[in-house]
Structure formats: C-alpha cells, structure tokens
Amino acid sequence: MSKRNIVIEPDPILRKKSEPLEEVNNDLRKLMDEMLETMYEAPGIGLAAVQVGILKRLIVIDVSKDKEKKDPLFLINPEITFKSNKTSTYEEGCLSLPGHFAEVERPAECHLNFVDYNGNKKDIKANGLLATCIQHEIDHLDGILFIDHISKLKRDMIIKKLKKSKKELDKVIL
C-alpha cells in the first residue's frame, strides 16, 4: 500500500466540487485503504479524496481515541439528511492547513446517508466529534474549508501564512 500526498492550501483543487462515485470496486477500495493509511500517518481523524487530489465524493474518518482499536468509517457519496438546531463548537484543524486551528460552530447532531466500503447503503446518526468531523469532511467535497466559517480577517491571515510556508518549503527542495 502506498501513501498519498496531501494537497496543502492554497491550491485551486481544494475549492472544486467533487463528483459522485458510480460504483464500489477493488480500485476504489485500494484508494480508500491508501487514504486511510495516509490519514493515520499524518496523523488526522478525517480525510476527503480531494485532499489527495481526487475530485470524488469519498471520505475516510476515524475518531476513535484508542490507537490500538481502530474504528475506520468509509463514506462514499455521503448526504446529510438532518442537521440539529443545537450547535457545538470545536477547535478545528485540517491536514490541508497544517499548523492552523480555529473555533468553528456547527450543528451538534447530523444524520447521514452513504454507501460503505462494501457498496452497501447505510445511514447513521452522529453527534459530538463525529458530527463535526463528518460536516468538515463533507464541506471538502463542496470546495469549502473550515476557514470559510471564520472571519475574513482571520482567514486571510491563515492563507497568507500558508503561502509563505509553502514558498519556504519550495526553497529547501532544490
């Protein structure tokens, strides 16, 4: 299994809308396995396909705290069917915006339809960290980043810093 490279903001692909998947086959399962490995190694708790440069509606998530008991969730073509009025706030980060965090308020509970790793239709009710993670990752599929939920001032500041660190990174790769 090979690890994938994670796309870092600012990059135009992160602003594109991802397309639904037509079928679940072995190629797709290989991609899901590689995305999961990439996420664990990063480390992170969620990764959308667009973050490895693939514009498909596909997400991997694992919010389990225990490293010994992995509990991966594969979401293909996820669709939120309910969002609660009650909200919760988490300090969010993102593998595509390394080193940056901000408080984001989102619905505390959401219900979701999706297709799983084996191609079966599923639905789940999520709350707490999982609900926030699902909404963060589905945002990615629509070209939305967590910084779009905060003030423009703070957003611009983060993008400026990321641009600067990307340039510095280029300088050392000679």
- By CB under 5 A, name the binding residues for Zn ion: 94
103 is annotated as an active-site residue: no
Rounded to the nearest whole angstrom, what is the least distance from the CB of residue 96 to Zn ion in the complex? 6
Residue nearest to Zn ion according to CB distances in the complex: 94
Nearer to Zn ion, 24 or 96 (CB): 96
Do 131 and 105 form a contact (C-beta atoms < 8 A)?
A: no
The DSSP secondary structure of 85-137, one letter per residue, reads SSEEEEEE--TTSTT--EEEEEESEEEEEEE-TTS-EEEEEEEHHHHHHHHHH
Least distance (Å) from Zn ion to the CB of residue 119?
A: 25
Catalytic choice (9, 92, 109, 137): 137
Residue with Cβ nearer Zn ion (61 or 94): 94
For Zn ion, give the closer residue by CB, 24 or 94: 94
Task: Give the span between the Cα atoms of 104 and 75, in whole angstroms.
Answer: 22
The phi, psi pair for 142, rounded to 5°, reads -110, 15
The nearest distance, CB 130 to Zn ion, in angstroms, is: 15
Q: Which two tokens stand for residue 82?
A: 């309910």
- Other beta carbons within 10 Å of 63: 17
Q: For residues 73 and 61, is the Cβ–Cβ distance under 8 A?
A: yes
Nearer to Zn ion, 107 or 143 (CB): 143
By annotation, the residues acting in catalysis are 137
